[in-house]
Structure 1
Amino acid sequence: MTDFARNQWYVAAYGREVGRELLGRTVLGEPILLYRTEDGRAVAMSDRCVHRRFPLSQAPGRLDGDSVVCGYHGFTYEPDGRCVFVPGQQRVPRTARLQTWHVIEQDSFVWVWMGDREPGTTRPPRAPWLDSADYTVVSGMEPIDGGYGLLVDNLMDLSHETYLHGGSIGTPEVAATPITTEVDEEAGVVHVSRHMEDAECPPFYAKSTGIEGRISRRQDIEYHAPGLYLLHSRIAPVGAPGPAPDGSDPHAFHVEVVYGITPSTERTTYDFWAVARDFALDDQKVTDFLRENNHIVVMQDVVALNVLQQSLDTEKAGYQELSINIDTGGLAARRILARLARPGGDRPAAAAR
C-alpha cells in the first residue's frame, strides 16, 4: 500500500473547473467534492453522503444556494460540512457531518490541504506565470493509470525526450548532455539543470519561435515535493547574447512548463500540465500550435507511464532497478517523498513568498 505525504498542499483542480456545478475528484484516495458558493468561494468537502455513501457529485445531486443536496435521499449539507436536513424527521443526528478541507486558490490552481493538522501559515509553492499578464498560457489535465512516483521520475529525467518525444521536443543533445543536480533536503526541493550551448532546434520551438538553425537551449528543473514541478526553459539562437546583469534577457525566448502532480489513488494520478510563454503573446496560431503539440507530448508520457505501471504490476517481488547518472534528480525526489510519507517525516509546505 502506498504511503502518501498528507500534511501537504495538492492541486485538486484548475480554478476554471470549479463553479456552480458539482465536481468530484479523488485526492490521496479521498473522494472530494468541489464547488463555489454564491459569493465565489471554493469549497472542498467529502464526496460521500453520511447516509449510504452516495457520491454527492453524482446527478441528480445539486446545489440549493450554497448547500449541497444529495441526489439519492436529499440529505443536505452546508459548506462547512454540517448536515442541516434529513428526510422524514426533524432532528438531524449530531454525527451527520462531512469532512472539509482547507482550500487556497493560487496561480490558476485550486489547492487542497490533505493533512491531519492545520496548515498554519504554510502555503503552496508558486507558479506565478500561470496568471501573469506577461505570459500566454495553454493548459490541461490528463489522468494517468499509474502511480504518481512514475510521473515524478519521468519529469526529473528529461533525457527521455530524445527517444519518447523525438520529432517534437526531443533532439540528440538532450540525452547526450550531462546534468547538474542540487538538493535542498530541508525544503524538499530538487534542482536539475541541463544546458546545451549548441543544439538542434526541435519542431516544438522552431515553429513557435521562428528560429532557424541551431540553438542554445537550457532546461532548469525545480521540483517542490510532493506536488509541483517547474521547468524553466530558455531558447535562443546560437551566439545570441545571454542574460544581462539586470536579469533582462531580450534575445531569448522563455517557456515556463508547470506540472501539478497529484496522487489520486495508489495507481492513478492527475497530471495537471501548463505551458506559459513570454513571446507572441497575442498570436493565436502559436497558442493553438503549443496547445495541440504539448498535449501530444503529454499523451506520449501518459501512454508510456500506463504501460510502465502495467509492467511493474507483473514484476516478481525483489526485482532490481539499474540507475545511472541521469537518475540523480529522480532518486533525490524519491528519497524526499519517502521521508515526507513516514510518520512525523512531513515538513511544512513551502513558506509564503
Structure 2
Amino acid sequence: MTFARDQWYVAAFSNEVGRDLLARTVLGEPLVFYRTESGAAVALADRCVHRRYPLSESRLDGDTVVCGYHGFTYDPSGACVFVPGQQRIPRTARVAAYPVVEQDTLVWVWIGDRDRADASTIPRAPWLGDPRYTTVRGMAPLDARYSLLVDNLMDLSHETYLHGGYIGTPEVANTPITTEVDEDRGVVYVSRHMDDAECPPFYARSTGIQGRITRWQDIEYHPPCLYVLHSRIAPQGVYPPAEGDDDQAFHAEIVYAITPSTAHTTYDFWAVARDFAVDDESVSEYLYQSNHTVVMQDVTALNILERVITGEPERYQELSINIDTGGLAARRLLARMVESSTVEAPR
C-alpha cells in the first residue's frame, strides 16, 4: 500500500496539542507534537538521533525537548542544542521538523517535500470554530486501512443497516444519489435528498421534531483527508419553501478527518457542529454519545473487514453498484495523488 505524502493531514484537534508531549504516527512517521511557550504548534520526528528513544516519552524545557534517555536536547526546528558530556554537537544531530498549520480547530501536518507545502491548499471546515455553532468531537483509532473509511463515508446507505436506531432509516438506503466530480479542484460531491423520511433518533431527540421529515445529505470529500457531510432536516412539507431557501431547516455540519497512521491503521477524527440548541448541554451530550456510538459501530465493522481482506487477499472480487459511484470517484482521485508522490507505506 502507498500513501500520498505531498498532502496535508490532520494530526490532532487544536485542544489536544499543549505543553504535554503528544505522540501521533502519520503516514508511518512517528511524530511528537507540543506548543512553544508562545503557543505555536510544533511537530518533530519522535525519535532521538542517539538511540531512537521516543521524544514523546521525554520532557519539555522551555521550548526545547529533552530526551528522557540520555538528555539530547532539540529546539523547535529539530536542531540538537545540547549533547551530554561534550561541547561539540555533531553536525548530523538533528531530527526532522514538519510544517504545521492550525485551521478551524484542526492541526494539520505535512509529511512530504517541504518545498511543496502550501497552506492555502488546506480545505476548510469553518463551522468547527464558528461561535454560531456548537461542536462535539472525538477521535477513534481504527485497525484498518484508511481507504476502507473513505469507502464507508462516501456510501451512506450503510446507515440503514449498521446504524439503525441512531442515524439510519430505510429511506437512506432506498433513495438514489447524485455524484459529481470537480476534476480541477479534486473534490467529490455526493447528494441524497429525501422529501419524506422517517426522523431517526439522532435528530428527533436533538431537534424535537415529531413525525416525518425532509432530509438532505450533501457530501464533499476533499481527498485525501477532509470529509464534510452537510446534513439538513426540517418537518416534512415545509423545506425548502423556495429553491435555495432553507431557513426553516436544522443544520448539522458533520466533519471527518481521515488520516492514515500506518498501512493498516487509521485515525478517525470526527466532529458534529450544529446551529440549533447551541446552548443546550443536554443536546451536546446526547449528540456526542450518539455519534460516538455510530463511529464505534463503523470501527467495529471496518476492523472486521480489514481482517477479512488481509487474510484472504485476491480471493474475492468486489462488485460495485450505483451507490458506489462516489466511493469509486474518491478512489480514482486518491490514486492520482499517490502517483504524484509515491512512497511505500511502512508496515
Please indicate, yes or no, whether the TM-score normalized by the shorter chain is above 0.5: yes
- The RMSD of aligned alpha carbons is 1.4
SS in 2 for 1:151: helix
Is 337-346 or 215-224 further displaced after alignment? Answer: 337-346
Matches within 5 A, 1:127-166: 127-166=125-164
Q: State the Cα deviation string for residues 77-108 of structure 1 (Å, max 9, x = none).
A: 00000001111111110000111111110001
CA distance in 1, matches of 2:154, 2:313: 26
CA distance in 1, matches of 2:121, 2:179: 25
2:15 is the alignment partner of 1:12: no
Instruction: Report the counterpart of residue 301 of structure 2 in structure 1.
Output: 304
Is 184-193 or 93-102 further displaced after alignment? Answer: 184-193
Letter in 2 for 1:253: F
* Closer/same/farther in 2, CA of residues 241 and 327 from structure 1, 3 Å limit: closer
SS in 1 for 2:202: helix
Instruction: Report the counterpart of residue 170 of structure 1 in structure 2.
Output: 168
CA distance in 2, matches of 1:23, 1:316: 35
* Closer/same/farther in 2, CA of residues 107 and 244 from structure 1, 3 Å limit: farther
2:329 is the alignment partner of 1:332: yes
Matches within 5 A, 1:5-44: 5-44=4-43
Instruction: Report the counterpart of residue 111 of structure 1 in structure 2.
Output: 108
CA distance in 2, matches of 1:211, 1:112: 40
**Pairwise CA distance, 1:75:** 0.3
Out of 212, 220, 223, the residue aligned to residue 222 of structure 1 is 220
Instruction: Report the counterpart of residue 91 of structure 2 in structure 1.
Output: 94
Q: How many residues align?
A: 342
Letter in 1 for 2:256: Y
SS in 2 for 1:72: coil
**Pairwise CA distance, 1:186:** 2.8
Instruction: Report the counterpart of residue 267 of structure 2 in structure 1.
Output: 270
Out of 51, 71, 74, the residue aligned to residue 77 of structure 1 is 74
2:193 is the alignment partner of 1:195: yes
CA distance in 1, matches of 2:201, 2:155: 21
* Closer/same/farther in 2, CA of residues 139 and 114 from structure 1, 3 Å limit: same
Instruction: Report the counterpart of residue 315 of structure 1 in structure 2.
Output: 312
**Pairwise CA distance, 1:121:** 5.3
Report runs of 4+ in structure 1 exceeding 6 Å deviation.
none
* Closer/same/farther in 2, CA of residues 186 and 318 from structure 1, 3 Å limit: farther
Letter in 2 for 1:171: T
Q: State the Cα deviation string for residues 93-147 of structure 1 (Å, max 9, x = none).
A: 0000111111110001000012214214533100000000110000000000000
Out of 199, 211, 214, the residue aligned to residue 213 of structure 1 is 211
* Closer/same/farther in 2, CA of residues 110 and 243 from structure 1, 3 Å limit: farther
* Closer/same/farther in 2, CA of residues 331 and 91 from structure 1, 3 Å limit: same
**Pairwise CA distance, 1:315:** 1.0
SS in 1 for 2:157: helix
Is 108-117 or 124-133 further displaced after alignment? Answer: 108-117
Instruction: Report the counterpart of residue 52 of structure 2 in structure 1.
Output: 53
Check whether the contact 2:4–2:341 (CA below 8 A) recurs between aligned residues. no
Q: State the Cα deviation string for residues 299-325 of structure 1 (Å, max 9, x = none).
A: 000010011100111114353111110
Check whether the contact 1:339–1:345 (CA below 8 A) recurs between aligned residues. no
Check whether the contact 1:50–1:96 (CA below 8 A) recurs between aligned residues. yes
**Pairwise CA distance, 1:164:** 0.1
Letter in 1 for 2:212: R
Which 5+ residue runs of structure 2 have no aligned equivalent? none
CA distance in 2, matches of 1:237, 1:161: 20
**Pairwise CA distance, 1:149:** 0.2
Instruction: Report the counterpart of residue 350 of structure 1 in structure 2.
Output: none
Q: State the Cα deviation string for residues 269-305 of structure 1 (Å, max 9, x = none).
A: 0000000000000011111100110100000000100
CA distance in 2, matches of 1:345, 1:327: 26
Letter in 2 for 1:322: L
SS in 2 for 1:286: helix
When normalised by structure 2's length, the TM-score is 0.96
Letter in 2 for 1:103: V
CA distance in 2, matches of 1:225, 1:110: 17
Q: State the Cα deviation string for residues 242-275 of structure 1 (Å, max 9, x = none).
A: 1656x65321100000001000000000000000
When normalised by structure 1's length, the TM-score is 0.94
Which 5+ residue runs of structure 1 have no aligned equivalent? 347-353
Check whether the contact 1:3–1:342 (CA below 8 A) recurs between aligned residues. no
Matches within 5 A, 1:274-293: 274-293=271-290
Letter in 2 for 1:32: L
**Pairwise CA distance, 1:345:** 8.2
SS in 1 for 2:299: helix
CA distance in 1, matches of 2:315, 2:279: 53
